[in-house]
Amino acid sequence: MENIKVILEKCTGCKLCVKACLFNAIEMVDKKAVIKDNCNLCGACVEACKSQAIQISKKSAESRLSGRGSEEKDLSAYKGVWVFAEQREGKVIPVTYELLGEGRKLASLLQEELSAILLGDKLDGVPSELIACGADKVYFASDPLLSHYRNEFYTKVIVDMISQYKPEIFLIGATTTGRSLAPRIAARIKTGLTADCTGLDIDTEKKILLQTRPAFGGNIMATIISPNHRPQMATVRPRVMKRCAKQDSRNGEVINVKPQLSGEGALTEILKVIKVEEKVVDLQEADIIVSGGRGLGRAENFSIIRELAEVLGGAVGASRATVDAGWIPSYHQVGQTGKTVGPKLYIACGISGAVQHLVGMQNSETIVAINKDPNAPIFNVATYGIVGDLFEIVPLLTKKLKINGVRS
Amino acid sequence: MDIIVCIKQVPDTASLHTLKINPKTNTLMRDTAPAIINPFDENAIEEGIRLKEKYAGEVTVLSMGPPQVEKALRDALAMGADNAILLSDRSFAGADTLATSYTLAEAIKKIGKFDLILFGKQAIDGDTAQVGPGVAECLGLPQITYVRKIEIENGKLRAERTLEDSFELVEAELPAVITVTKEINTPRYPSLKGIMKSKKAQITIWSLKEMSIDSDRVGLEGSSTQVIRIFTPEMRSKGEILQGTSEDVVDTLINKLRERKVL
């Protein structure tokens, strides 16, 4: 491997790197670490090594500095923090306000402006709402073709805005829309994009965005930078960042952008939108979630989870195992590949607590775990744990809440 | 109908049931995680084979990675894919989603003939969901993400796209790029005949040289993002285990939740 090397004099043969490698790509030969060809250059070993004996480097980094990379842009021309103000059916979705809160923090650290990017049709009043919630400027593109997210139109309009106004940082909510739109924009303008961030900060010395996100099913966290490309783009996980307080007296500027669109540029056509009929599916907005896991044994037993959720006025969640088994549709799934939730109360019934589940619910204020296995990892994050048979405990809890009322 | 399915070999992170941390170094202690086909990609392979069975044509599985990825491609052949191509070169290592999208898209151009490109909605190791849209952009094709149902009618594709609280019925001209969710199908088990055939099958391997592409745009060199730090996430602290009979613990729990004003 050209980009990774072990400095033999520094390697003590301690094998920490071997243990840290998720790809089995390091072996010990004569008590020295040797990197195999299947190395993915993920950097876990560099971090694990106590002797700084492993280095990852880019050969082009130096040649770029020496002026070879003539295609490099003038990075200093890029200023300000942008957030994508996602709207659905004319209503701004909650993650937008979280992005404004976080964007405000980053803009202050950089001493630059915070702008919201709004695309849609007939959105009177929305720009001023975005200003009240933290934006200094709103770039507003209004066109009937933008009323509903369509990838080709949204990409074109935003790419045009980026080339004209040159933001330094661009944040997008990690929703189904954001995660489809952001990679398309990033690939078109050939910039870096970090997915589903849960932490953002500024390296104030280098003035670059530090983007932290879970990887490997939440088993590790990685901090990622995009030092040589602008804008620095990230999608941000909903329900993680804090909103900033709304101030109706805040001043800001609305810049009307004229989108250059024609219906002939359409690659896709949305024929219809079907609402999910079940009313309790919006897990990310729920204050109380009752979740069921493999311990339920079969699909029918989700009824006891539904009954408790109903008494509490909460939503029904599910572990990955139950979704995989086909016991419940995937939009109930909580976890790394499902939804990230942060309710006031999360009740986990018969869920053992694999890491990929824990990362999706550990921001809940209070967690109750009911499981028959006293060693289940879910108890490590539970505020209150009950070791017992869920088929006895859960119906009993439902019954008592029904008889005595939920509130005291 | 010729279909290309892009797949990734991943460590089976979901099988890591407990997080073990080395207390001295604060690094992750790994149970050996077996290498598997990314689960969402299995759904993509299955969908490709089903469409082939319905409309005739060939399914080509495409992956990028070290030589070990041959195993994943053989598993896909055993399920019923017709051809397998592995993009393998030391210079491809360390690619971020931008460099990966470019490399896969160049390979797809080299394959040349296709009507549909399928991906799983995301890989369970990186969880980015960025490569499908990235490839669609590099090829200038329509994309439909998070798809749970595909139908082809008069050369047009109709897909049901899953959103947070609704579904969209989207239509696109072929060729198109689709990323699929788990609900789209249940992947089949390989038949014995399929397994025997896959063992003897020829896997095409393309290196940087064979693809004649820009070496500055692949692997670590072609990546715009850099990982600067890897660490173990902080888990919240352990609370209390309620003791007593079922009656007792349920009463205690209700009282405690009321005290905390959760109820």
Which ipTM value was assigned to this complex?
Answer: 0.90
For residue B242, the chain A residues in CB contact (below 8 A) are 384-386
Q: Residue A36 in contact with residue A45, Cβ under 8 Å? A: no
Residue B95 lies in a domain: yes
Q: Do A4-58 and A283-402 share a fold?
A: no
Q: Provide the pLDDT for residue A72.
A: 53
**Residue ranges of E strands in B99-165:** 116-120, 143-153, 156-162
Average pLDDT of chain B, as a whole number:
91
Residue A13 Ramachandran class (φ > 0 left, ψ -120 to 50 alpha, else beta):
left
| Nearest CA-CA distance, residue A88 and chain B, Å | 11
* Contact state of B181 with A344 under an 8 Å Cβ cutoff: no
Which of A198-207, A322-331, A376-385 is the least confident region? A322-331
Mean pLDDT of the region A394-398: 97
Between the alpha carbon of residue B248 and those of residues A261, A373, A386, B32, the distances in Å are: 66, 19, 11, 42
Mean pLDDT of the region B66-95: 95
Q: How many CB pairs under 8 A join A and B?
A: 332
Domain harbouring B40, CATH code: 3.40.50.620
A5-8 contacts, C-beta under 8 A, 24 or more apart: A5/A35, A5/A54, A5/A55, A5/A57, A6/A32, A6/A33, A6/A34, A6/A35, A6/A53, A6/A54, A7/A52, A7/A53, A7/A54, A7/A55, A8/A32, A8/A53
Q: Which residue from A minimizes the CA distance to B175?
A: A267
Q: How many Å apart are CA A390 and CA B203, to the nearest integer? A: 50
Percentage of residues of chain A with pLDDT beyond 90 = 69
DSSP letter for A375, please.
T
* pLDDT greater than 50 at residue A241: yes
| Nearest CA-CA distance, residue B98 and chain A, Å | 6
Residue A319 has φ and ψ, to the nearest 5°, of -85, 165
List residues bridging with A348 in a β-sheet. A291, A369
Q: Which residue from A minimizes the CA distance to B120?
A: A337
Q: pLDDT per residue over B204-263, tens digit each?
A: 999 999 998 989 999 999 999 998 888 877 767 788 999 999 999 999 999 999 998 888
Handedness of CA B249, B253, B259, B260 (dihedral sign): positive
Q: pLDDT per residue over A337-356, tens digit each?
A: 888 888 999 999 999 999 88
Q: Residue A305 in contact with residue A394, Cβ under 8 Å? A: yes
Interface residue A352 vs chain B (CB under 8 A):
yes
Q: pLDDT per residue over B23-70, tens digit each?
A: 444 444 444 567 899 999 999 999 999 999 999 999 999 999 999 999
* pLDDT greater than 60 at residue B103: yes
Q: pLDDT per residue over A17-61, tens digit each?
A: 988 887 788 999 999 999 988 888 888 888 889 999 998 887 655
* pLDDT greater than 70 at residue A70: no
Residue B236 lies in a domain: no
Q: How many Å apart are CA A273 and CA A151, to the nearest integer? A: 15
Domain count, chain B: 1
Residue B96 lies in a domain: yes
Q: pLDDT per residue over B170-187, tens digit each?
A: 999 999 999 999 889 999
* pLDDT greater than 90 at residue A162: yes
Residue B29 lies in a domain: yes
Q: Provide the pLDDT for residue B25.
A: 45
Q: Which residue from B minimizes the CA distance to A382?
A: B239
Q: Give the fold, CATH level 3, of A283-402.
A: Rossmann fold (3.40.50)
DSSP letter for B18, please.
S
Whether omega for the bond prior to residue B11 falls within 30 degrees of 0, making it cis, is no
* pLDDT greater than 50 at residue A156: yes
* pLDDT greater than 70 at residue B22: no
A339 closest CA partner among A198, A236, A200, A237: A237
Residue ranges making up the domain that contains B148: 3-217
Q: Provide the pLDDT for residue B8.
A: 97
For residue B166, the chain A residues in CB contact (below 8 A) are 273-276
Interface residue A55 vs chain B (CB under 8 A):
no
* pLDDT greater than 80 at residue B150: yes
**Residue ranges of E strands in A299-380:** 315-318, 345-349, 366-371
Query: Hey, where are the domains in chain A?
Result: 4-58, 77-261, 283-402
Model confidence band, residue A323 (pLDDT cutoffs 50, 70, 90): very high
Q: Provide the pLDDT for residue B123.
A: 93
Q: Provide the pLDDT for residue B222.
A: 94
Mean pLDDT of the region B187-216: 95
A242-249 contacts, C-beta under 8 A, 24 or more apart: A242/A98, A242/A101, A242/A102, A243/A97, A243/A98, A243/A100, A243/A101, A243/A133, A244/A100, A244/A101, A244/A104, A244/A133, A244/A134, A246/A132, A246/A133, A247/A132, A248/A132
What lies within 8 Å, CB to CB, of A245 at 6+ separation is none
Q: Provide the pLDDT for residue B74.
A: 98
**Residue ranges of E strands in B71-142:** 83-87, 116-120
User: Of chain A residues 232-261, which have a CB less than 8 A from chain B?
Assistant: none
Residue B41 has φ and ψ, to the nearest 5°, of -70, -30
Q: Give the fold, CATH level 3, of A4-58.
A: Alpha-Beta Plaits (3.30.70)
What kind and span of H or E run contains A165? helix A151-165
Q: Residue A3 in contact with residue A41, Cβ under 8 Å? A: yes
N residues, chain B: 263
* pLDDT greater than 50 at residue A235: yes
Q: Provide the pLDDT for residue A215.
A: 83
Model confidence band, residue B14 (pLDDT cutoffs 50, 70, 90): low
For residue B182, the chain A residues in CB contact (below 8 A) are 323-324, 330
Q: Residue A25 in contact with residue B208, Cβ under 8 Å? A: no
Between the alpha carbon of residue B93 and those of residues A191, A301, B97, the distances in Å are: 19, 46, 12
CATH of domain A77-261: 3.40.50.620
* Contact state of A273 with B167 under an 8 Å Cβ cutoff: yes
Q: Exposure string (b/e) for B106-119, b if CB count within 10 Å is 16 or more?
A: bbbeebeebbbbbb
* pLDDT greater than 90 at residue A301: yes
**Residue ranges of E strands in chain B:** 3-6, 9-11, 20-22, 27-29, 35-37, 59-64, 83-87, 116-120, 143-153, 156-162, 166-173, 176-180, 204-206, 226-231, 240-241
Q: Provide the pLDDT for residue A273.
A: 87
